[in-house]
Amino acid sequence: MNRQLKNILLIFFLLGTISCEKGFEDINRNPFFPTQTDIGPLFNSVVESLKLGWNEQFYLHNETLYGVTQLAALTAETFQNITIGTEEVWSNYYSTLANIRELETRFDEYGGEQEALQNVRAMVKTILAYKTFRVTDFFGDMPFFDAGRGFQDIDLIKPAFDSQEEIYKFLLEDLKWVNDNINTLPFPTTSTGADYVSFAGFDNLFKNDMLKWQKFANSLRLRYALRMVEVDPGFANPIIKEILEGDLPLIEEGEDVGLYPADLDWLNESVHWSFREHKKLRMGSTIWNQLSETDATDGSGIYDPRAYIFFETNNNGEWAAFPQVPDDDTPASGGIPYQIHRDINYSLKGLGNIYSPFNYYLIRDEDYIPELIMTAAEINFIKAEIYLRGLGVAVDEDLAKSEYTLGVVNSMVFWQSIFMNTPIWQNAPQVLTEGQLFAITNHPRINIFSATDKLENIYAQRWLDAFRQPWEAFALWRRTNATPREGDAPEFYRFSYPPSEAENNPDNWSEQVGTMGEDSPRVKVWWMK
């Protein structure tokens, strides 16, 4: 395909993928110096693609993953329209991948010193890794190495599937490159004195703070090395060792990664829509038992303050969990706890709302609550597991306990900051000091020092911290089979490929399904034992 035709196709593609959201749109129009007028907006569209899709939240998170992980209870039959969500995830990923491939091509064709591109390459590699890990963990094997290159070579419009193992190892090596090559100085120059090319003005994630990009890349590397450690310790353990013994920079307290709508001048309407349209989610007995030591409806048994942030009382002002494994005599759930009328009539949740719903303000806010990507607490819990098990490093139970305790406090501090910084939040819980939060870690249900099964505590707290990242809780459950649960675990290990892949890439899809045996949720992803 000649360059002129490729550029024409790319223009039409970008017209369809660059958002009309105000914050991103303003930046897309922002002129910059000549080497950036085209790659800056292109990178901006890549960052914008991190926003969660409306249908993904409705059909994959609310209809499926909250119930599978038991972070909440599904009060009616679901799993009916999953493909609407998988199509959105698939489409978002591959349209963004085409933009990333174009950025990579422009980097390769850059007329100046390649060293000047190290930071922008690092940023693109990090976003590519995050998005690809997330999608491959949903589906398993997927087109990757030749995917997104149809604008460069018409023979690659229908790319072959690649193994999840190959994808994981490639991305982990890419993230190592990021750590080794990113320049965190404020105004870096090459060895000959040329200025580094920069996405400053187009970086809506870390505002061109290269140290934060390095921390994020290393944190991703640690997360996914741990995820694959059971199936290939020979590959994963050296990565863990290098990061922890080398004291490489990682996400720390107060550096939780997410997309903050107000900072982006973006109105996040999708979360509330997904709840008020879905209507079926309530607090389940599994998570209730991790937040309260009794079933007292007045909440007197609550020992974890996150209960007041995640959930609220039913229409009668009572704390009531829906049985995670209901029987034929379980009363039906109903009511209208997520409808917009509560903006002016907060107390009206509907007579049928006899079970505790998600906290209205947690899912109603459109400006200040972030779409989470990674929390500092997650890094603490990852390190706690690593030190307790001796993965890549020597067993150190004291360090494990310390990281776990810091993780619990960091999680509580983060979630407390959510309601403190959300102006619409009414009836907010008591603001606890850091000292009071540390005291909560002495509760018998939380205290790791007296726990019989310390690993169980680590998994439970990491699962709780992922309350608004059900995909991460899903991965943790699949890897460990040890997150809090009632009843038998479902045979749900992945999402089936969206129907469009069978229609648009039939030969490669058919070959992949033949390799798997079947395209169903029963097929385990590569890193599961």
- Judge whether 399 and 381 are in contact, CB under 8 Å: no
**Structural domain range at position 97:** 3-269+368-516
- Tell me, rounded to whole angstroms, the distance of Cα 510 from its chain centroid: 30
Confidence (pLDDT) at 314: 97
Q: How many CA atoms, within 13 angstroms, populate the side-chain half-sphere of residue 19?
A: 23
- Max alpha carbon distance in the chain (Å)? 76
- Tell me, rounded to whole angstroms, the distance of Cα 197 from its chain centroid: 29
From residue 473, give the alpha-carbon distance in Å to each of 263, 461, 468. 27, 11, 9
Q: According to DSSP H, which parts of 260-396 are helical?
A: 261-264, 270-278, 285-291, 307-310, 360-364, 376-389
151 in a structural domain: yes
486 in a structural domain: yes
355 in a structural domain: no
306 in a structural domain: no
CA angle 292, 295, 297 (to 5 degrees): 105
Rounded to whole angstroms, the Cα distance separating 272 from 522 reads: 31
153 in a structural domain: yes
- Judge whether 190 and 138 are in contact, CB under 8 Å: no
86 in a structural domain: yes
CATH number at residue 34: 1.25.40.390
φ, ψ at 354 (rounded to 5°): -95, -5
Q: Report the domain count for the chain.
A: 1
Tens digit of each residue's pLDDT (9 = 90 or more) over 32-78: 333 444 899 999 999 999 999 999 999 999 999 999 999 999 998 77
Q: What is the pTM of this model?
A: 0.92
From residue 479, give the alpha-carbon distance in Å to each of 66, 227, 492. 17, 7, 13
247 in a structural domain: yes
231 in a structural domain: yes
Residues in the chain with pLDDT values less than 70: 1-37, 79
Confidence (pLDDT) at 201: 86
DSSP-assigned beta bridge partners for residue 284: 322
Confidence (pLDDT) at 6: 43
Tens digit of each residue's pLDDT (9 = 90 or more) over 362-393: 999 999 999 999 999 999 999 999 999 999 99
